[in-house]
């Protein structure tokens, strides 16, 4: 490992202070780094370069100082670059960030000694087709959510798995999540926890009305297609809780397995079930 990109949570003084410590720690081990702030407008502004010319070299690792939201935001910006991500948690849950401000040195020492081992996770790609035109296209790390707006009115949705109809749903909305995102809104809405190695998506209704529509796990060999009923109004699509798009009656939302993968740097001792227990998803009596 020769060069590290350090991405810090926007306007977080604690993360900024730690980034300076990490940068000098790396420099002492002959590893250059560049620190940037994660910008909400999808632009990473360069704030500091530790060694001359380091910005000209592709990073071997992106070290993200923030919570899950920052990790997801950075993932969308670096998707397809082949740069693995490693998170130091400054958020509340930190399911995607295995390191903390207390143990980051051990994690980086391991990588310096043994190289960057990577873990690939499936992402989704969501597109909105309006009549004959694609009007929205985005990668999804955790989930795509179709929900009602300010008016407390049910949405009528028609769901299909490829060409096979699933059914019609009247509800406050529907969540389509990745296995990695099954611990987020999906779990809060009563959906199952799904191991992140699986190539599936989880479709979970939000407050279905007069429907015995259970959450369903679907293989991603075919896309999930959701059509908005013609009478629906004030409906929105939100990806990863960060990007919102206003839907119109008749819109067709297609969700497929993305060609790009989320590339995470692995650290020893990071166990999926251990993480579930640590974050309170499994409680042993």
In a shared domain, residues 34 and 111:
yes
In a shared domain, residues 151 and 76:
no
In a shared domain, residues 249 and 228:
yes
In a shared domain, residues 40 and 63:
yes
pTM over 0.85: yes
In a shared domain, residues 111 and 191:
no
Q: Is residue 216 situated within a structural domain? A: yes
In a shared domain, residues 90 and 206:
no
**pLDDT, tens digit, 9 for 90 and up, residues 214-256:** 999 999 999 999 999 877 678 999 999 999 999 999 999 999 9
Number of domains, the chain:
2
Q: Which of 41, 60, 68, 221 is catalytic?
A: 68
Instruction: Compute CA distances 237 → 3, 56, 199, 222, whole Å.
Output: 37, 37, 23, 21
Q: Is 21 helix (H, G, I), strand (E, B) or coil?
A: helix
In a shared domain, residues 131 and 251:
yes
In a shared domain, residues 54 and 130:
no
Q: Which residues contact 151 (CB under 8 A, 6 or more apart)?
A: 233, 234
Q: Please give the helix or strand (H or E) that residue 107 lies within, else none.
A: helix 104-114
Supply angle C-alpha 5, 9, 13, rounded to 5. Answer: 110
Q: Is residue 139 situated within a structural domain? A: yes
Q: In sequence order, what DSSP letters do the residues of 113-150 get, joined into one string? A: HH---EEEEEEEEEEEEETTEEEEEEEESSEEEEEE-S
Assess whether 68 carries a catalytic annotation: yes
In a shared domain, residues 169 and 250:
yes
Nearest to 166 by CA among 152, 181, 176: 176
Inter-residue contact 147 to 235 (CB < 8 Å): yes
Q: Is residue 13 situated within a structural domain? A: yes
In terms of Cβ atoms closer than 10 Å to its own Cβ (0-12, 13-18, 19+), residue 243 is middle
Quote the tokens at residue 278.
């640590």
Per-residue pLDDT of the chain (285 residues; tens, 9 = 90+): 889 999 999 888 999 999 999 999 999 999 999 998 887 544 443 434 444 445 567 899 999 999 889 999 999 888 888 899 999 988 677 788 888 888 899 999 999 998 888 999 999 999 999 999 999 999 999 999 999 876 667 899 999 999 999 999 999 999 999 999 999 999 999 999 999 999 999 999 998 887 788 999 999 999 999 999 877 678 999 999 999 999 999 999 999 999 999 999 988 877 888 888 888 888 777
Expressed as residue numbers, the domain containing 45 is: 3-117+266-278
Q: Is residue 285 situated within a structural domain? A: no
């Amino acid at each position: 490992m020769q060069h590290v990109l350090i991405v810090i949570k926007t306007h977080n003084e604690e993360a900024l202070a730690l980034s300076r410590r990490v940068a000098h720690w790396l420099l002492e081990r002959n590893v250059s780094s560049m620190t940037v702030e994660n910008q909400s407008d999808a632009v990473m502004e360069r704030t500091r370069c530790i060694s001359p010319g380091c910005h000209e070299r592709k990073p071997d690792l992106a070290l993200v100082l923030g919570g899950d939201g920052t990790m997801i935001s950075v993932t969308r910006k670096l998707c397809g670059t082949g740069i693995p991500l490693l998170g130091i948690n400054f958020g509340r849950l930190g399911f995607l960030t295995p390191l903390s401000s207390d143990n980051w040195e051990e994690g980086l020492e391991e990588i310096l000694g043994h190289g960057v081992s990577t873990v690939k996770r499936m992402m989704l790609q969501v597109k909105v087709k309006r009549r004959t035109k694609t009007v929205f296209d985005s990668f999804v790390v955790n989930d795509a959510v179709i929900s009602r707006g300010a008016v407390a009115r049910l949405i009528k949705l028609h769901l299909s798995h490829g060409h096979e109809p699933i059914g019609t749903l009247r509800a406050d909305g529907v969540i389509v999540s990745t296995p990695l995102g099954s611990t987020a809104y999906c779990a809060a809405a009563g959906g199952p926890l799904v191991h992140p190695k699986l190539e599936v998506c989880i479709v979970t209704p939000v407050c279905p009305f007069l429907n015995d529509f259970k959450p369903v796990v679907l293989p991603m060999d075919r896309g999930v297609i959701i059509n908005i009923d013609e009478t629906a109004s004030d409906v929105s699509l939100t990806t990863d809780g960060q990007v919102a798009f206003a839907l119109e009656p008749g819109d067709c939302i297609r969700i497929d397995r993305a060609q790009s993968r989320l590339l995470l740097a692995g650290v020893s001792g990071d166990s999926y079930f251990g993480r579930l227990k640590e974050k309170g998803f499994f409680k042993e009596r």
